[in-house]
Amino acid sequence: MVIRTVPQTPGRAEPAAARPLAAVVLAAGEGTRMRSARPKPLHRLCGRPMVLHVLDALAGIDVDRVVVVVGHRADWVTKTLVEHAPPGMSIEFVEQVEQRGTGDAMSVALTGLPDDSDDESDVVVLPGDTPLLRPATLAALVAGHRASDAAATLLTAVVDDPAGYGRVVRGRNDGVARVVEHADASDEELSLHEVSTSIYCFRRSVLAPSLRRLSPSNAQGEYYLTDVVAVLSDAGHKVGSVVVADTMEVAGVNDRAQLAVAEAELRDRINERWMRQGVTMWDPERTYIDAEAHLGTDVVLLPGVILQGACVVDDHAEIGPDVHLVDTRVGEAASVTHSVCRRAVIGRDARVGPYVVLEEGSEVVPGGSVGARGWPQGNG
């Protein structure tokens, strides 16, 4: 069974059925292509670690429990998620001590789910390096899985250049028969353009037995989670798919170039969201707003504005041109131009700039002003 998704407005979206739903995020990899001491899941997009964008997507659907598989620099990843995960999200951390593939990681993940979990429950599985995934797409995957009563449902994509991706091979009734990794594919399989995104929804009752049947007999010598598809299909279980409409949503981030592409996409989304909420941007291509910033209505942003971190800009304020704010509060109807402000507070109706640097802890009182000539009377 194939279900094609349709573009949806970002936001909270609920799965169709009320069966218990758990989630597993695979975030144990080192990410050697990043060439960094920082674990790959913690590389930042729009000021927020990549794996937290994945958890934000999960927060948009009803998940009862989230298990995060950590490995490389596990303490760092765990600490970051404990401190910054979406409010109210229940997370269990399990460690994959030896990197033996995604199938092994999934087996480790199941140790983080209670033994008494409802066998009729579902488990959605996604990698920690897909930060552009939308909640509506996850909800469509879960809804399609439940509507078809499948044992497993894959989120797949049809791409022009499938090089490097696992190919989706279909069997009877157009169901998914198996997924073949690029390195193990035949010439005929390499010609296929439908690929696995490594995002799944499984029926909990069949997952553990299928994982026990995996073998590392492949080019990488690893236990592939993708091989569960063939195990289930060969056993007569129904395996379906949901084809994602926007392939950018499922783009993985494995190196700095892919990180930059994902960053640009996410910034476009952030800018569009704020403009639709009443913010004016003279030049969105030259406006950079981090994910944790908050803007009021009728805010005006001129070219060259960077709002880094948890900036707050109140109603009717005007920022720019060429302003860099870091974790700074700008009061209602205030203006800042040609300046840099770090962890500062700018009061209502205050004027800052041009050519001002406000260091950490600085405060401009309501109605005050400071510019290139110094601090006139009335500033704090």
For residue 147, the surrounding DSSP H or E stretch is: helix 135-148
Tokens of 236: 């007569």
Looking at the DSSP bridge assignments, the partners of residue 195 are 157, 167
pLDDT at 79 over 90: yes
Query: How does DSSP assign 37-104, residue by residue?
Result: SS-GGG-EETTEEHHHHHHHHHHTS--SEEEEEE-TTHHHHHHHHHHHSPTT--EEEEE-SS---HHH
CA distance 329 to 53: 24
Q: What is the mean pLDDT of residues 278-305?
A: 98
pLDDT at 51 over 60: yes
CATH code, 26? 3.90.550.10
Strand 339-342 with 356-358, pairing = parallel
Instruction: Tell whether 205 and 327 lie within a shared domain.
Output: no
Q: What is the mean pLDDT of residues 284-310?
A: 98
Residue 237 in domain: yes
pLDDT at 238 over 90: yes
Percentage above 90 pLDDT, the chain: 79
Q: Return the beta strands (E) in 97-243 as ranges.
A: 122-127, 152-158, 167-170, 176-180, 194-203, 239-243
More confident: 334 or 220: 334
Instruction: Tell whether 243 and 285 lie within a shared domain.
Output: no
Angle at 106 between CA 101 and CA 112, to 5 degrees: 140
The per-residue b/e assignment along 326-349, b for 16 or more CB within 10 angstroms, e otherwise, is bbbbbbbbbbbbbbbbbbbbbbbb
Tokens of 86: 């979406």
Number of domain units in the chain: 2
Residue 272 in domain: no
Domain boundary among 205, 223, 256: 256
Q: What is the reported pLDDT for 14?
A: 45
Residue 379 in domain: no
Instruction: Tell whether 179 and 48 lie within a shared domain.
Output: yes
Domain range for residue 334? 278-370
pLDDT in tens, 80-110: 999 999 999 989 999 998 888 999 999 999 9
Residue 162 in domain: yes
pLDDT at 13 over 60: no
pLDDT in tens, 170-210: 998 888 999 998 988 999 999 999 999 999 999 999 999 99
Q: What is the reported pLDDT for 373?
A: 59
Residue 285 in domain: yes
Instruction: Tell whether 243 and 197 lie within a shared domain.
Output: yes
Q: What is the reported pLDDT for 179?
A: 94
Residue 316 in domain: yes
Strand 351-352 with 369-370, pairing = parallel
Instruction: Tell whether 196 and 241 lie within a shared domain.
Output: yes
* Cβ–Cβ < 8 Å for 30, 72: yes
Q: What is the reported pLDDT for 116?
A: 56
pTM of the predicted model as reported, rounded to 2 decimal places: 0.88
Query: How does DSSP assign 163-198, residue by residue?
Result: TTSPEEEE-GGG-EEEEE-GGG--HHHHT--EEEEE
Q: What is the mean pLDDT of residues 243-253?
A: 94
* Cβ–Cβ < 8 Å for 238, 150: yes
CA torsion sign, 162 to 219 to 155 to 89?
A: negative
Residue 266 in domain: no
Residue 268 in domain: no
Instruction: Tell whether 6 and 112 lie within a shared domain.
Output: yes
